[in-house]
Amino acid sequence: MSIGDKLRRIRGEGGSGRKEQPPQTREEEGRSKDERIDDLRRRIREILERRPSGPAAARKSGIPRGALPGEEVRTRRGSVLVNSSRILRDDFHGKRRICETAMPMDRIGVLAGRSVFSPFRCEDALFLDTETTGLSGGTGTFPFLVGLGWFEGGNFVVNQIFARDFDEEAALLTCLSDVAREKKFLVTFNGRAFDLNLLATRYILNRIDNPLSGLPHLDLLFPSRRLLGHRLENSRLATLEKMVLGVRRDYDVPSSEIPQRYFDWLRSGNAGLMTDVLEHNRMDVATMAVLVGHLCDLFGSADGFAAAADGSDLLALARMCIDRGEKLTAERLLADLIAAGPGPLGTDAGTELSLLYKRSGRWAEAAGIWETMAGRDPGCLFALVELAKWHEHKTKNFKTAEALVAKALDNLPGDDIDWREALLYRLTRLKRKMGATKTE
């Protein structure tokens, strides 16, 4: 009796009153009805999409390999398929031309939160995105497709390394090593948590030195989430490219379907299943290239800021610059936002900038901002209180300070007890100080 029969017998499958049904795998049994319907849809679609290509046996003989784009590349550890394409300098990807991506390394450093990038050039960047057999991580997840991109003479090259079967993994990794050796740093989207971890695992499993482990790395997820995520429903790459970069995809494989597509490809050899995945991956790599350009452009130039940018993104960038000690950039961005006129954005920018000045001991400039803010909005609590502090501690003009606190109290919403207490405390102290000056 085969192991399969024994297992079925032990479990009592077949005696469970479901004899009329064809034998199902346990995996199938465990799935919900919706999933099974989705499965059916997928299978129907596959049948409709099926291009003339042979089954797995035929694939092994080499016939359907030709149906996939790309060419076979020989490495020290076997052959692998590499699909090479390029986006010419003047081609658009979304709203941007590919050649508009400049990567000033000081800005890359701010985005990455590390300053190691300064000796590099734009051409040293290796953009990387993988497609895998699962999203949960762990050693059993296989990155069957590694999409790589880099700038070359203003054009953007995308090379996709594709393992047609598991036995091409060593070749895939070797091929990646060869490319990585020519490059100086990595750009990914969520690579820190996912792609690079996974590749590190696979390098260990194949006993190949990991060429990526020492490379500086800009993971675009973090700056994107910080600079753009505040106005989007989420910070996924697909959302960013649609809402911010204006990239449209005609048809796209949902990421969640990709593992199953690969398994189906292994069994059926149907190249059509994979061409969509290759295109999906190529788009992702290209999107990263314009995304990094977009993020760098938010910094603007020394004499003005990019008109296309959303003001709230610039405020987020200014805050990030403050956190990373880039005071000058932050000052310039905030000043521009204030100059753009009144409004909540201007107020926030004023707040940030005045506090920046205050921390640097530039009181007069800070006070100037507060005066402007109080001028624009006479009830602006923040400006009134900061001015009061300034007059109390710096100019020692207690009377003005007292008037400001009184005004702030007038403008305070009735239910804000904490603020009220703090203001009353300050008022008492001011009165005491004024009394002391008088008696002197």
Partner 1 sequence: MERLTLEEIISRFRSDRRFMENVRAFREIPAAAGRFSPLPAWLHPRLRAVLEARGFQNLYEHQAEALELVRRGRDVVLVTPTASGKTLCYNIPVLQRALEVPDSRALYLFPTKALAQDQLKEFGEMARGLGGEIKSHTYDGDTPDDARQAIRRQANVVITNPDMLHAGILPHHTKWQKLFSSLDYVVIDELHTYRGVFGSHLANVIRRLRRIARFYGKDPLFICCSATVANPGEHAARLVGKEFALIDRSGAPRAAKTFIFYNPPVVNRELGIRQSALAPARKIALQLMDNGIQTILFAGSRLTVEVLTKYLKDGAEKREPGAEKVVAGYRGGYLPELRRRIERDLREKNILGVVGTNALELGIDIGELDACIMVGYPGSIAGTWQQSGRAGRRADRSLALLIARSSPMDQFITENPEYFFAGSPEHCRINPDNLLILVSHIKCAAFELPFEEGESFGEEKLEEFLAYLEEKGILHSANGRWHWTAEHYPANEIGLRSIDAENVVVVDVTEKGGRRVIAEVDWDSAFTTVHEHAIYMVESEQYHVDRLDLDRREAHVRKVDVDYYTDAMTYTDIRVLDGFETKQDGNAVVEHGEVKVSRKVVGYKKIKFYTAENVGYGEVSLPEREMHTTSYWFTLPLAMLDTLPYTRAEMIDGLCGLAYAVHHIAAMILMADIRDMDRCVADRSGRWFVHFGPGGRKPASAGSDSPENFDPTVFIYDAYPGGIGFSDLLFRIHRDILAAAFRLISSCPCAAGCPGCVGPVLDVGYRAKKAALSVIEIALGSPPGKSPAPPALETGGENGRTESVRRKGRK
> Which residues make up the interface to partner 1 (CB under 8 A)?
1-4, 6-7, 9-12, 14-18, 25-27, 29-30, 32-33, 133-140, 142, 165-167, 200-201, 204-205, 259-260, 263, 266-267
Minimum distance, C-beta of residue 8 to partner 1, in the bound complex (Å): 10
Q: Which is nearer to partner 1, 35 or 90 (CB)?
A: 35
H or E stretch at 367: helix 363-376
* 143/129 Cα distance (integer angstroms): 10
Minimum distance, C-beta of residue 45 to partner 1, in the bound complex (Å): 19
Q: Which is nearer to partner 1, 143 or 293 (CB)?
A: 143
* 189/168 Cα distance (integer angstroms): 25
Q: Which is nearer to partner 1, 62 or 343 (CB)?
A: 62
Minimum distance, C-beta of residue 299 to partner 1, in the bound complex (Å): 32
β-strand pairing of 125-132 with 185-188: parallel
Q: Is the CB of residue 336 less than 8 Å from the CB of residue 348?
A: no
Q: Which is nearer to partner 1, 253 or 337 (CB)?
A: 253
Sheet with 125-132, edge to edge strand ranges: 71-75, 78-87, 155-162, 143-152, 125-132, 185-188, 217-219
CA angle 292, 73, 181 (to 5 degrees): 45
H or E stretch at 383: helix 381-390
Q: Which is nearer to partner 1, 260 or 437 (CB)?
A: 260
H or E stretch at 161: strand 155-162
Minimum distance, C-beta of residue 144 to partner 1, in the bound complex (Å): 10
Instruction: Single out the residue of 240, 228, 227 nearest to residue 287, CA to CA.
Output: 240
Minimum distance, C-beta of residue 202 to partner 1, in the bound complex (Å): 8
Q: Which is nearer to partner 1, 204 or 339 (CB)?
A: 204
Minimum distance, C-beta of residue 80 to partner 1, in the bound complex (Å): 13
Phi, psi of 126 (to 5 degrees): -115, 110
Minimum distance, C-beta of residue 137 to partner 1, in the bound complex (Å): 8
* 68/260 Cα distance (integer angstroms): 18
| Tokens matching residue 293 | 């350009």
Residue type, 290: V
Minimum distance, C-beta of residue 204 to partner 1, in the bound complex (Å): 4
Minimum distance, C-beta of residue 339 to partner 1, in the bound complex (Å): 42
Q: Which is nearer to partner 1, 121 or 267 (CB)?
A: 267
* 89/15 Cα distance (integer angstroms): 66
Q: Is the CB of residue 160 less than 8 Å from the CB of residue 71?
A: no
Beta strands in 49-142 (DSSP E): 71-75, 78-87, 92-93, 96-97, 125-132
* 419/411 Cα distance (integer angstroms): 11
* 94/101 Cα distance (integer angstroms): 13
Q: Which is nearer to partner 1, 91 or 257 (CB)?
A: 257
Query: Side-chain half-sphere of 252: how many Cα atoms within 13 Å?
Result: 14
Q: Which is nearer to partner 1, 154 or 259 (CB)?
A: 259
* 73/45 Cα distance (integer angstroms): 32
Q: Which is nearer to partner 1, 175 or 258 (CB)?
A: 258
Minimum distance, C-beta of residue 237 to partner 1, in the bound complex (Å): 20
